[in-house]
Structure 1
Amino acid sequence: MGKQTVAIVGLGALGILYGQHLSEALRKDRVKIIVNEERKKRYEAQGVTLNGVPCDFNYVLETEIGTPADVVIVCTKSLTLDSGMESMKHQVGDQTTILSLINGISSEQILGARFGQEKVIPTVAIGMDATREGQNVRSKVKGWLQIGADTPEKESRLAEVSALFDEANFPYTIEEDITLKIWEKFLMNVGVNQVVMVNETTYRGIQTGGTYHEQMREAMAEVVKIAQAEGIPLTEAHIQQAIDIIDTVDPEGMPSMRQDGLAKRPTEVELFAGMILAKSKQYGIPTPMNDVLYKKIKKMEQKF
């Protein structure tokens, strides 16, 4: 196996956080940050920083046709996944493996439909507290990636990604049941992101003892009911596991949905409460907290 290359699509909080780690560990010539011409000029002129330290990135135009990357890491928002797939299309070849760090439970299927399901290794980004403020990302806790093969045919690709991450001393774990891990992260997003957004708070507001802690628990409990209806072995114990993780992050940090709200950008509410409400209707399971959160967030978006 030669020296593997990485392409990162989407230079938000996670793109900067993990792009900087990989660029430093592997050398920047092996890590391509895929951008359009306007973003390339802006990033090069204004700079991009992590905790105030400049990032020395290798920006590659999305129109450039060259050797595809061995691994593509998708760090876009769900709302910009379509444009992200257009940006990354020249980086995907037969040997390319794709990892999606997008929230929710559907991005792997969307990417697989476009580029081939065999290329997509299910992935969960967990435990980080990265917050983007303009061109700077602030982060105290890097978190890690959970990866796994959802079919036996992907085991060889999983091994190659594992070798790359080992070389880069990149934080990750290999999970036997990666589908369950995706739902565990979904549970966290539904509870954490939406409650912080609606109450216009930070992680402090939902951490143990926080004012909105019980709202978060209730929203998560509804995810457990839906997951079990889908045959996913999510339990009440997973709620406490999620809370234990949230209690470790920077109290003054905030999830991506709250950051979107402050920036007056459309949120991922359809990915979270919207998905839960659709499945609530499908299975006839009441989800009153997610119903409230959905309505409140949609009302907030109308003022953007």
Structure 2
Amino acid sequence: MNKDTKKTVIVGLGALGMLYAGQISRSLGPEAVSFLADKERMERYRQMPFTINGEPCSFLIEDCEEVKPADFVIVAVKYNGLSSALETMKNSIGPDTTIISVMNGIESESVIGERFGHEKVLYCIAQGMDAMKFGPAFTFNYFGELCLGVRMEGQEERLNALAAYLDQAGVPCRIEKDIEKRLWGKFMVNVGINQTCMAYETDYAGILAPGEANDTLLGAMREVISLSQKEGIYLSEEDLNYYMDLIKGLPPESAPSMRQDGIARRYSEVEMFAGTVRRMAAKHGLEVPVNDRLYGRIKEMEAAY
């Protein structure tokens, strides 16, 4: 690795973690990126035969207790793993570290900022990829892109430095002026697509076909539109159509992360999706029957594990 190359650490060796680690490693060298883990997980990871699209791959795994502050930290864990991730990453954060979260939802940036300083955390949305991971095997056809933006005044230098780094690493990204609306748009599509695919045990083709699943998908998304307007974000049908076009461009036989959770009988991120919608809607006295139904169905499925 060139001594001037920035160092990135990733928390979460899931689909998105592997997606970005693989690309950064190929472009900038294997020492430019590492995953953080405690000693127990380090040993487990080192014994796993990781593959990307069928090709064997290996990653640098660093002890979270001994790691030095990094230039960039990517948080790529599930909703239920965020609390432990904050502990795992604490030694990798220095005064100049810039943090992004590629987690779903609309709350992780605030949680991370509360712990490490809001000035270090930029807004980031990962969209357009069809990443699927089962065990150590990760596959994708579409890499997608990262949408980036500032959360507060004075972050422009951090934002520009991150965008330049990602461009150097070959990670598609763009800077969004209205990043908060983009964040809510991604939340809207995930509330619809992730939960519907899991509840109906289907793939993208199954929820795009006319019928009950498609009605549920659109209904759940429209409830987020109504909620966003109460929150001053003002999503619209135009935003819904934009994201529906993105879904239609994905491989029909692929499925989002919550469907993958269901297949693997893992507890899902339903609290981050329908759970958040229901909590925020209650604050405004807004009814969200589609998300109520999805929440109940997914909780029922998980209770049978």
Give the TM bin, normalised by the shorter chain.
over 0.9
Give the Cα–Cα distance (whole angstroms) in 1 for the partners of residues 23 and 303 of structure 2. Answer: 37
- In the alignment, does 2:8 pair up with 1:11? no
Q: Does the CA contact (< 8 Å) of 1:205 and 1:211 recur in 2?
A: no
Equivalent residues in 2 for 1:271-286, closer than 5 Å: 271-286=272-287
State the partner residue of 2:27: 25
Give the Cα–Cα distance (whole angstroms) in 1 for the partners of residues 42 and 28 of structure 2. Answer: 21
Q: Does the CA contact (< 8 Å) of 2:127 and 2:145 recur in 1?
A: yes
Equivalent residues in 2 for 1:204-223, closer than 5 Å: 204-207=205-208, 209=210, 212-223=213-224
State the partner residue of 2:82: 81
State the partner residue of 1:288: 289
Give the Cα–Cα distance (whole angstroms) in 1 for the partners of residues 19 and 252 of structure 2. Answer: 19
Q: Does the CA contact (< 8 Å) of 1:97 and 1:119 recur in 2?
A: yes
Q: Which moved more, 1:93-102 or 1:207-216?
A: 207-216
Give the Cα–Cα distance (whole angstroms) in 1 for the partners of residues 43 and 64 of structure 2. Answer: 13
**SS of 1:145 mapped into structure 2:** strand
- In the alignment, does 2:92 pair up with 1:91? yes
Identity %: 42
Shift of 1:18: 1.1
Shift of 1:36: 2.2
Q: Does the CA contact (< 8 Å) of 1:148 and 1:174 recur in 2?
A: yes
One of 37, 44, 47 as aligned partner of 1:45: 47
Give the Cα–Cα distance (whole angstroms) in 1 for the partners of residues 59 and 27 of structure 2. Answer: 12
- In the alignment, does 2:137 pair up with 1:146? no
* Letter aligned with residue 57 of structure 1: F
State the partner residue of 1:136: 137
TM-score for both structures, normalised by structure 2: 0.96
State the partner residue of 2:257: 256
Assess, with a 3 A threshold, how the Cα gap between structure 1 residues 210 and 75 changes in structure 2: closer, same or farther.
farther
Q: Does the CA contact (< 8 Å) of 2:148 and 2:174 recur in 1?
A: yes
Give the Cα–Cα distance (whole angstroms) in 1 for the partners of residues 240 and 161 of structure 2. Answer: 32
Q: Does the CA contact (< 8 Å) of 1:147 and 1:178 recur in 2?
A: yes
State the partner residue of 1:224: 225
Aligned length: 303
State the partner residue of 1:35: 37
Q: Does the CA contact (< 8 Å) of 2:275 and 2:295 recur in 1?
A: yes
* Letter aligned with residue 29 of structure 2: R
Q: Deviations over 1:70-115 (max 9, x none)?
A: 0000001110011111111111000000000111010000000000
Shift of 1:169: 1.7
Give the Cα–Cα distance (whole angstroms) in 1 for the partners of residues 226 and 212 of structure 2. Answer: 24
Equivalent residues in 2 for 1:58-207, closer than 5 Å: 58-66=60-68, 68-207=69-208
Q: Which moved more, 1:182-191 or 1:211-220?
A: 211-220
Q: Does the CA contact (< 8 Å) of 1:62 and 1:87 recur in 2?
A: yes
Shift of 1:133: 1.4
* Letter aligned with residue 298 of structure 1: K
Q: Does the CA contact (< 8 Å) of 1:208 and 1:243 recur in 2?
A: no
Give the Cα–Cα distance (whole angstroms) in 2 for the partners of residues 139 and 211 of structure 1. Answer: 28
Q: Does the CA contact (< 8 Å) of 1:274 and 1:294 recur in 2?
A: yes
Shift of 1:63: 1.5
For structure 2, the residue ranges without an aligned partner over 5 or more in a row are none
Q: Does the CA contact (< 8 Å) of 2:121 and 2:151 recur in 1?
A: no
